[in-house]
Amino acid sequence: MKDTLTVTEITEYIKQLVDGDEVLSYAAISGEISNFKAHYASGHLYFSLKDDGAQIKAVMFRSAAASLDFQPQDGEAVKAYGRVSVYPQGGQYQMYVTRLVRDGAGALWQKYEQLKKQLESEGLFDESRKRPLPRFPKRVGVITSRTGAAVRDIISVLTRRWPMTEIVFCGASVQGTDAPAELRAALRLMAEKGNVDTVIIGRGGGSIEDLWAFNDEMLVRDIAAYPIPIISAVGHETDFTLSDFAADMRAPTPSAAAELAVPDRAEYISRIAALDGRMNNSLVSRINDLRQYIDSISSRGVMRSPLASLEWRKKDLLSKSELLHTRIEAIKNQKQAALTTLASGLNALSPLSIIDRGYLLATDDGGKTVTSVSDVKVGDSVKLRFTDGYAVTRVENTEPLNGES
């Protein structure tokens, strides 16, 4: 045997030992799924099986995965059947799974479901209590890890989409036992001193253990009662935490949260340009309409030769004036003739015309016309009307006609 072995040689030797072991050639292992990933291009599934004491990496190739009747996910308790071997390129042992079945909910997953049901029953996840995000926030608060990729992604998207917005950052642990307390403290600090319009809280993706801080009951309650609209951006698209359900808005990734928090400057520039174009087109159209109207007025005779038009108007006015004068004179003469005829008729009926022919009009003291000898008696005064005045006489005797007394 050689004194010195290469890495490849020793790895191959260990692989032979493992592959030759009867127990490891086909094993059934129970555990909880963690760090589950589905490779979309190849169709292979990669995950770890773990319990309280240890964990083992596992792979399930596409041919075996095609027979699954459920979608594996982190925290789920399963039984895996297959062989344990060594993966030389990685220098690690792993399980090559040929069959995978559910074995009840894992401890973390069960705790997650129980807390979710409790908080949901209290109304913390109701859509009716969620608020809309401000359309044009002046200041956006960001709570995440100081060193993770999430903060860089969020700042990059916010700066690109809406550079007018001020970013207020508050760092906190997003994983581990201290993370819930630090996240809650960051929320309080942001609400008290941040003076922000919207808050983004989150981190990148990971296993159920990595994201567990965002399932902390007190943190979830703080998010539900937060006085500022809040966006939860925890994990990747398929990962949901209880913070996602409690927040006013849930984003699948930190970058997506930044896109939800602010409008897109390029989109508004495009809309403004479109409106500017429409306004210019409207103004040009209006100007053209007015120009055509002016041209149509200018083409009229009065505009081409205003003096000739005025002269024609003057002649027309004089002609109409003369016609009106003639008609007025004719009407006047007609009415005057009718009046003369009417006056003659009235004069013929007037008692004065009778007086003019030598007759008298007699009235008593009361002004009543005396028409009969019986209307007076001896001693009465009678007023006689002549054509040129009056005479008062006294009745000394009455003589009825035909000798009647």
Q: pLDDT tens digits for 43-84?
A: 999 999 998 889 999 999 999 999 887 889 888 889 999 999
- Which residues, listed in sequence order, are joined to residue 203 by a DSSP beta bridge? 234
Q: pLDDT tens digits for 203-233?
A: 988 777 788 999 999 999 999 999 999 999 9
The CATH superfamily of 7-105 is Nucleic acid-binding proteins (2.40.50.140)
Question: Which one-letter amino acid corresponds to residue 241?
Answer: T
Tokens of 278: 């429409």
Q: DSSP label at 182?
A: H
Kindly list the domain boundaries of the chain, sorted by start residue. 7-105, 131-263, 303-346, 352-403
pTM of the model: 0.55
What pLDDT shows up at residue 177?
92
The CATH superfamily of 131-263 is Response regulator (3.40.50.2300)
Cα separations in angstroms, 384 against 216, 348, 369:
133, 21, 10
Mean pLDDT of the chain: 88
Tokens of 32: 């909880």
DSSP string of 37-97, one letter each residue: EE-TTT--EEEEEE-SS-EEEEEE-HHHHTT-SS---TTEEEEEEEEEEEETTTTEEEEEE
What pLDDT shows up at residue 106?
67
CA distance 157 to 255: 6
What pLDDT shows up at residue 165?
95
